[in-house]
Amino acid sequence: MLKDAIEAERAERDQEADCARINAAIGLAEQDIAALETRQIDPDEMREKWSAIRDRTILAIRAVRRNVIERAIKAKQTERWMIEKSIREERDGRVTREFSAELKKVPTKDLLDYLRYLIKIGDRARIKSICIVFEAREDRQAYDVAFGKMLARFALAEYGNVGERLTRICRLAENVDARIANLFAAYSVTNCSRALTPPKYAPIKPPRLDVSACDAIGDSNHSHDLV
């Protein structure tokens, strides 16, 4: 977990620098792949050269990407701590209990609308109720991401720049991982499609023979038949 604003600022700066290194390596891989596409080589050689580009790129970014992921994990841990702290500090237990009881019959998907409204008016006690009820729902997995994002924006807003830095650290990691995945997945599909497409050859034209040549061939065949 990141301890304070200074550590969060340093982590954001390091995250930006490492993601820039990864993006540069991906850019080189894209150039190499584009160069391959211009060459007329058979599918086996194409796969071999593509594998070499992939392995070289993975090796170049492996250590840097590990650092990017570790920072994102720490940022997420810090976010969770801030969210839990924000909810835990709410002291109005009566409102929380009463509203929790009212929410028992509310469908899980509608809890998101309740949360959105309560965040807008800043009702911490009832936001805490929403969180308690949502955590107890068996079908919450379908709404976890949306619920978590809304709650994180609300809780982290209180921490100003620190909250923004944590969000950016995570977003940078997501973006660079998505670019890595898209590069390899997209080219794999292209490579597979290319391998399955039969090669196009120039049409073969039959030789043109004049009449006298055909007669000579016919006479020769006929003489062989008589032997």
DSSP secondary structure string, 134-168?
HHH-TTGGGGHHHHHHHHHHHHHHTTTHHHHHHHH
pLDDT in tens, 19-62: 999 999 999 998 998 888 888 888 888 888 888 998 999 999 99
Q: Which pLDDT score is estimated for 153?
A: 85
Q: Does residue 219 sit within a domain?
A: no
Could you tell me the pTM of the whole model? 0.67
Contact 169/75 with Cβ under 8 angstroms?
yes
pLDDT in tens, 92-106: 677 778 888 888 889
Of 51, 58, 54, 67, give the one whose Cα is nearest residue 15: 67
Q: Does residue 18 sit within a domain?
A: yes
Q: Does residue 210 sit within a domain?
A: no
Task: Please give the residue that has the higher pLDDT: either 2 or 192.
Answer: 2
Q: Which pLDDT score is estimated for 83?
A: 83
User: Mean pLDDT lowest for which of 39-43, 74-78, 174-178, 207-211?
Assistant: 207-211
Number of domains in the chain: 1
The residue range of the domain holding 140 is 5-200
Q: Does residue 226 sit within a domain?
A: no
